[in-house]
Amino acid sequence: MDWRLFGTSGVELPRIGQGTWEFPEAGVRLREAKATIRRGIDLGMNHIDTAEMYGAGRVEEIVGDAIGDLKRPSVFLTTKVLPSNASFKKTIAACDRSLHRLRTDYIDLYLLHWPSSVPIAETMSALEHLVEQGKVRFVGVSNFDVEELDEARSSLRRIPLVCNQVLYHLRERNIESRLLPFCKAHDIAIVAYTPFGRGRFPAGRSGAVLQQIAAEKRKTVRQVILNFLTRDPGVFSIPKAAQIAHVEENAGAAGWELSSDDVRRIDEAFPVVRRRELATL
Ligand code: NAP
């Protein structure tokens, strides 16, 4: 696994982590999903992303179970507060509920899931309070465009904003035009979600380019995709896998690099479409 500094946190995180949205919640598939998290951690994918929204809290419990007796800081836990809980008081209460479900004393990274109608300064002040209480180590946001991100970071008084988690896959490269340069200028890590595009998995002639590169590199198409999306050291990705074979494949996206010619071919097949700054949920 490749390790990189995560924004201004001073912590190194793996280039490829693990998402948990729509994780199986019962039965044999749940057992495999928990084993998958552990296998991923063994392979160095110790950045686990979840949210109070996933399974209405159930997925945080599953993550807590899967991690079990693993010592921190060998696992880096990210979870998110819903915008409907973004007032000062509700953020503190939501964090306490997440800590309880995750069965832990602290959350490594706590994010506002997407922009809320609550003034951002109020939410950021709650996040600062949680850091001062030792319940959270680092704070960030998700699905914020440049202007929203600038407002969020400026309203933090004592701590930096370390990351923005955003949609980023081969057919949704909008972040490359403004958001990524802004984040790099301010040392804010980008965590790229939905790397495989949810129903927009590359196929046809463009997909054939990936197959060709994968064959040349002796990698799989998904490994090529994940490697491409994280070619900038400020970008991390969190594919979700609930099957051991999948997490093992995803781990193989690290430890090597695409050549500049490979990147050019992918750029040509999947051009950046400058439609909007950031596609949200
Ligand atoms: P994704 O990671 O792009 O795709 C997940 C799907 O790909 C699952 O069906 C999974 O199957 C499959 N998969 C994974 N690895 C595979 C492999 N090697 N071979 C074949 N199939 C594979 O989509 P996502 O879950 O939307 O995004 C990833 C994570 O980002 C989420 O889980 C969540 O943690 C986060 N996220 C955040 C936001 C936000 O608003 N902040 C929004 C969306 C997602 P199996 O599960 O069967 O293994």
Binding-site residues, ligand 1, Cβ < 6 A: 19-21, 49, 113, 142-143, 165, 193-196, 198, 222, 238-243, 246, 249-250, 281
Q: Is residue 213 part of a domain?
A: no
As beta bridge partners, residue 79 has 110
Q: What is the CATH number of the domain that holds 75?
A: 3.20.20.100
Give tens-digit pLDDT for 264-277. 999 999 998 866 54
Number of folded domains in the chain?
A: 1
Q: Is residue 264 part of a domain?
A: no
- Residue 47 domain boundaries: 3-201+228-256
Give tens-digit pLDDT for 194-203. 999 987 777 7
Q: Is residue 271 part of a domain?
A: no
Give tens-digit pLDDT for 208-249. 999 999 999 999 999 999 999 999 999 999 999 999 999 999
Distance in angstroms (rounded) separating the CA atoms of residues 109 and 264: 34
Q: Which atom of ligand 1 is nearest to the CA of 239?
A: 2
Q: Is residue 270 part of a domain?
A: no
Q: Is residue 116 part of a domain?
A: yes
Q: Is residue 25 part of a domain?
A: yes
Amino acid found at 14: P
Reference 106, options 132, 88, 141, 87; nearest CA is 132
Whether the pTM exceeds 0.85: the reply is yes
Distance in angstroms (rounded) separating the CA atoms of residues 53 and 58: 9
Distance in angstroms (rounded) separating the CA atoms of residues 178 and 192: 15
Distance in angstroms (rounded) separating the CA atoms of residues 170 and 216: 20
Q: Is residue 276 part of a domain?
A: no
Between the alpha carbon of residue 72 and those of residues 41, 106, 107, 165, 195, the distances in Å are 12, 10, 10, 23, 27
110 in active site: no
Nearest CA to ligand 1 atom 36: 193
Q: Which atom of ligand 1 is nearest to the CA of 250?
A: 18
Q: How far is the CA of 241 from the centre of ligand 1 (A)?
A: 6
